[in-house]
Amino acid sequence: MKERIKNKTVFILTPEEYFQLKDVLIDEDKNKALLFVKEVLGKQVKEIERIGCVPVFEASYKPGQKDEFKNKP
């Protein structure tokens, strides 16, 4: 998985998420911060980690690669 993650990752926030983050930073509320990380950043991390279609002739393709993600939500 490490080979698929780039040196830098950019998270894009909607205006609502931006103000939610500002609120967390101002209040220094640990529970709000954890909720923000889980709900906003966690979703984006899962999307980054999701494997797209890889043709079998691609160098990064490994036999059985799709089996790792079968039956996962």
Domain residue ranges of the chain, discontinuous segments joined by +: 13-69
The structure's pTM equals 0.56
Q: What is the pLDDT of residue 14?
A: 93
* pLDDT for the residue 30: 92
Locus of tokens 């089996």: 67
The type of residue at 24 is V
Whose structure tokens read 């039956």? Answer: 71
In this model, does residue 61 exceed pLDDT 90? Answer: no
Instruction: Kindly report the backbone phi and psi dihedral angles of residue 44, in degrees, each rounded to the nearest multiple of 5, phi listed first.
Output: -70, -35
Please report which helix (H) or strand (E) contains residue 21, including its range: helix 15-27
- Residue 26 pLDDT class (50, 70, 90 cuts): very high
